[in-house]
Structure 1
Amino acid sequence: MAETQQGPRARYREQTRAEIKEVALRQLADGGVGALALTRIAKALGLSGPALYRYFANRDDLLNALIRDAYDDAATAIGEAAATARARGPRERLRVLAGAYRAWAVSEPHRYLLIQGSPVPGYVAPDDTLERARAVLGPFLTVFVHGSPGADTAAMVDRMGAWLKRDTGVASWVAEYVPDAAGDDRASAVALTGAVLAWSQLHGAVGLEVAGQFTGMGHDGETLLVAQSGMLADAFGLE
């Protein structure tokens, strides 16, 4: 009986939390993190301030939830793209994954900036956001694992190899996405190198686009990203 009585309460709680997050996302879209105000959220939902704190302890607790959701949604978008491109060659998979990353970011710019923009002063993200961020980047490891990077990336491959040896968390993450490279230090380091380079290129191009820095220029974000993906594929000898 107790479980039956708790069911509707739990559903109501989750519904209210979802409504709070929806209003918070509208505030983010309107004015960024600085516009996030719990008192305004409570007023929009017809709640008192104390009532709102029954669902989120404070602003940082709400930010935690929004950041987790953003990473999870981005990871879903990348994962779905990886599934559709699984049978294609690594060069084409890279293009598809990069395109999916950009598509999510430009469709959800306020959420992209929440997780990839300037750090929020005084805010420390929860530890589990690292795992979520790795889920976004993980599919890129599979693209590069059999790559043949040239001399220009040799120093970075060495550095990534050293990172894998000293950080078991990173090593486990790489092994999860490219189990065929288990025991092959070189392949694991190459995969990690490619994924890190892809992330830096993606963040650079997509971040500039989302921030409106390409406005008035003679190109668009999609063509730039295709060109960058091609150059990175060339650097790793991807077919």
Structure 2
Amino acid sequence: MEGTPRDRARSQTMADIVRIGRQHLSTEGAAALSLRAVARDLGVVSSAVYRYVASRDELLTLLVVAGYDELGDAVDSALGKVEEGDFGARLSAIGTTVRAWAVGEPAMYALLFGSPVPGYHAPAERTTEPGTRVVRALVQLWAQAYAAGAIQVPQGPPVPGSLAEAFVAVRAELGLDLPDQVLARGVLAWAALFGCISFEVFGQYGPDTFGDPAALFEHQLRVLAETVGLTDRA
């Protein structure tokens, strides 16, 4: 660890605060997070912890960024093990990695993708970049597959004019060369991917409704690939 002993001590304290905050998130929930409780478990007076974290909202932001980065790192690592031209396998890597992380970290997943925490508004300047890492991986997958001829542009309902206008801005912002139908279905796949995971994590299917949730999710991924028009390879 670089820096002066004081810098290292501060970094360690910040890491401990986030670690304890994460524990409280799992046991108490986001709405009940308390810096006083964190200070108690850290072994310091409550006033001392405010020198590191200014408020409950600041702690929530630290947890949000940590969660997004952890999830993004997991997806990047999974993609690094899959051949770039095997687009079906890359979609599977993204989906199964997000699901595994969500199932293993339900409290963090709920903070990122569940109901908003009352009174808390995540600062866009700190959370947008880490928070879009997974969707950007999906967008990159669609773009690479389309460029390689591995997406058969699906026929479907025409894209409404107002949505087509919005897609112009999306293409410009992300540097994409994708037709409206692929973009529309890519958005559907993005929403459906997290919807399927959320149903499982939050128990919306009911207890023991499906004997093998992993197999159900794998099937859902294949359906989503077909929806976008994705083939395994060019």
User: Which of the five TM-score ranges fits, normalised by the shorter chain?
Assistant: 0.7 to 0.9
* Residues 153, 108 of structure 1: alpha-carbon distance in 2 compared, 3 angstrom cutoff: farther
TM-score by length of 2: 0.85
What's the RMSD between the two structures over aligned residues? 2.3
Structure 1-normalised TM-score?
A: 0.83
1:131 to 129, 132, 149: 129
2:61 and 2:16 map into 1 onto residues whose CA distance is 16
Partner of 1:46: 43
Corresponding position: 1:165 with 2:157: no
Larger mean Cα displacement after TM superposition, 98-107 or 211-220: 211-220
Contact (CA 8 Å) 1:78, 1:100: kept in 2 or not? yes
Matches within 5 A, 1:25-40: 25-40=22-37
Distance in 2 (alpha carbons) for counterparts of 1:192 and 1:133: 20
Q: What's 1:237 paired with?
A: 229
* Contact persistence 1:81–1:97 (CA under 8 A): yes
CA–CA distance in 2 between the matches of 1:211 and 1:32?
Answer: 14
1:212 and 2:203 correspond: yes
Is residue 20 of structure 1 aligned with residue 20 of structure 2? no
Q: Describe the shift of the 1:134–1:125 C-alpha distance in structure 2 as closer, same or farther (beyond 3 A).
A: same
Identical pairs, percent = 33
CA displacement at 1:31 relative to structure 2 = 2.4
Residue pair 1:148, 1:238 contacting (<8 A) in 2 also: yes
Q: Given the alignment, which residue of 178, 187, 190 partners 1:196?
A: 187
Aligned with residue 67 of structure 2, among 50, 70, 74: 70
Deviation at 1:161, TM superposition (A): 4.4
Q: Distance in 2 between matches of 1:72 and 1:159?
A: 33
Deviation at 1:94, TM superposition (A): 1.1
Structure 2 CA distance, aligned partners of 1:99 and 1:15? Answer: 32
The AA in structure 1 aligned to 2:29 is: G
Amino acid at match of 1:196: V
Output the amino acid matched with 1:218: F
Is this contact kept in 2: 1:78–1:97, CA < 8 A? yes
* 2:112 paired residue number: 115
Q: 1:160 to 1:75 in 2, by over 3 A?
A: farther
Task: Measure, in 2, the Cα distance between the counterparts of 1:84 and 1:10.
Answer: 36
Judge conservation of contact 1:160–1:192 (CA < 8 Å) in 2.
no
Q: Return the offset for 1:86.
A: 3.4
Work out the number of aligned pairs and report it: 222
Structure 1 residues 213-222 or 113-122, which shifts more?
A: 213-222
User: 2:215 is matched with which residue: 217, 223, 227?
Assistant: 223
Deviations 1:78-100, CA, capped at 9 Å, x for gaps = 11122222334222221121111
The answer to whether residue 152 in structure 2 is matched with residue 152 in structure 1 is: no
Letter in 2 for 1:93: R
Tell me, which stretches of 5 or more residues in structure 2 are unaligned?
A: none
Structure with higher helix content: 1
